[in-house]
Amino acid sequence: MKLRFLGGVDTVTGSRHLLKTDLHRVLVDCGLYQGVKSLRRRNWAAFPEEPASIDAVLLTHGHIDHSGYLPVLVKHGFKGRIRCTRSTFELCRILLPDAGHLQEEDARYANRKQFSRHHTAESFSPVDDITASFSPAGHILGSACIRVCHGGKTIIFSGDVGRQKDPLMRAPTPLADTDYLVLESTYGDRRHKDTDPIEELATVINATLARGGIVLIPAFAVGRAQLLLYLIHELKKEKRIADVPVYLNSPMAISATEVFHRHHNEHRLNAEQCRDIDAGTIYVRTVEEAIELTGRRLPAIIISASGMASGGRVLHHLKALLPNHRNSVLFAGYQAPGTRGDAMVNGADRIKIHGEYFPVKASVHNLDSLSAHGDYEELLAWLQQSHITPIKVFVTHGEPRAADAMRKHLKERLGWDAEVPELFSEVEL
Ligand SMILES: [Zn+2]
């Protein structure tokens, strides 16, 4: 079995790993590159392997940087099956509307091999000489680590790995034994702040409301938007913040929230909590409603995608809110280099949106501790719980510094042989 690294090795986006056996080829994740232009340009380059030669795709989760390249792969001749957990399938149906016909076809497979309620790893064969199984990764709804077996050898792709103690998602399940591991390293060189994110959230909201301002929270449609709604709901219930209107302005996030409510077995909230949060949220669906909300000047909390302010409805809110010192912009997760989010978090005093510059007068905060990625200590704790002894670990999905730091942690703390692969390199397993 050979493994070729087709993306996501020097950056946190564009995850693509190709496994080759003598008979078949399986692509693990099929992500879009996001962030700086040089990365985005890779989306337009010819795919380094013939798409028609790939027999199947396995997805770790629905985020676009892991699934967004699927329509292109299909357009260029991929005809195989795409396998993922049930929730990932439903989220992809929202995230990849253009690939709707493709998703419908795969529904039958996703349905047949849906994510087990008891989280036992049921195995399936994406192609006849490979078996694979999903185990919960705790990153977003449906996210999974994928264990692939061929010819007596096993390899696990971690995908993105969640937190040990997330208010919403359950901790990632310990891994089954494996010969090889492909491990993400988004926070390979950083710890999350030890502060209580709920306390921090309350402080920013209260300070902003006291100034008569609006709190704008750019959030990923899938994952953090649901967590924020839950935390804000809890803060209101405990009367730690004023009862101001809470808007969710992202059609995609609204649909994702519906999927979230349908899958109680995969997260910590019960049906009643989901209903309460629903009742306390104003969903902004139409463009007309969104425009009206953009003109709003009264205190409120607005959650809108995208999470790194690289696109989406949040841009209109930023244009309206950034020039006023009364308002706050609260980022809630990893900000990739080159994104507007990254620039603002690093103190940019003006931001270009739709070809025009806007002064950053609003206060900007980064609630990094709300991240959906475990930091390196959390990853190490999870790996230790797993009691595995891989022959080799390939560290991917991190900026070069983060990936190299993770490699060192694995060597020094666990005594594992680890390396950071190069883009397009290929190894014999
Ligand atoms: Zn992700």
Q: Where are the domains of the chain?
A: 2-190+372-428, 197-370
Distance 209 CA to ligand 1 centre (A): 32
Phi/psi region, residue 415 (left: phi>0; alpha: psi -120 to 50; beta: rest), is left
pLDDT 10s per residue in the chain (429 long)?
999 999 988 888 899 999 999 999 999 999 988 877 788 888 888 899 999 999 999 999 998 889 999 988 998 999 999 999 999 999 988 888 754 444 344 444 444 444 333 344 678 999 999 999 999 999 999 999 999 999 999 999 999 999 999 989 999 999 999 999 999 999 999 999 888 889 999 999 999 999 999 999 999 878 888 899 999 999 999 999 999 999 999 888 888 888 888 888 889 998 898 888 989 999 999 989 999 999 989 999 999 988 889 888 999 999 999 999 999 999 988 888 889 999 999 999 999 998 999 999 999 999 888 888 999 999 999 999 998 999 999 999 999 999 999 999 999 999 999 999 999 999 999
**CA–CA dist 313, 217 (Å, integer):** 12
How is domain 197-370 classified at the architecture level of CATH?
A: 3-Layer(aba) Sandwich (3.40)
Which alpha helices (H) appear in 346-390, and where do they start and end?
376-386
Cα-to-centroid distance, 139 and ligand 1 (Å):
7
Please give the single-letter amino acid code of residue 342.
D
What separation in Å is there between the alpha carbon of 136 and the centre of ligand 1?
13
| 109: Cβ contacts below 8 Å, ≥ 6 apart | 81, 82, 83
93 CA distance to ligand 1 middle (Å): 16
Ligand 1 geometric centre to CA of 165 (Å) = 17
Q: pLDDT at position 121, please?
A: 60
Q: How far is the CA of 48 from the centre of ligand 1 (A)?
A: 23
Q: How far is the CA of 357 from the centre of ligand 1 (A)?
A: 30
Reported pTM: 0.83
Instruction: Tell me the C-alpha distance between 76 and 403, whole Å.
Output: 31
Distance, CA 398 to ligand 1 centroid (Å)?
12
How many Å lie between the centroid of ligand 1 and the Cα of residue 219?
Answer: 13
Please tell us whether the domain made up of 2-190+372-428 is placed in CATH 3.60.15.10.
yes
C-alpha of residue 6 to centroid of ligand 1, in Å: 17
Q: How far is the CA of 41 from the centre of ligand 1 (A)?
A: 20
Tell whether omega for the bond before 386 is within 30 degrees of 0, i.e. cis.
Answer: no
Cα(27) to centroid(ligand 1), Å = 17
- Give distance in angstroms: CA of 63 to centre of ligand 1: 5
Distance between Cα 67 and ligand 1 center (Å): 10
Residues in contact with 40: Cβ distance below 8 Å, sequence separation at least 6, in sequence order: 33, 34
pLDDT of residue 195: 82
Q: How far is the CA of 373 from the centre of ligand 1 (A)?
A: 8
Looking only at the bridges linking them, the beta strands covering 363-366 and 356-359 are unpaired
Give the DSSP letter string of 212-244: T-EEEEE--TTTHHHHHHHHHHHHHHTTSS---
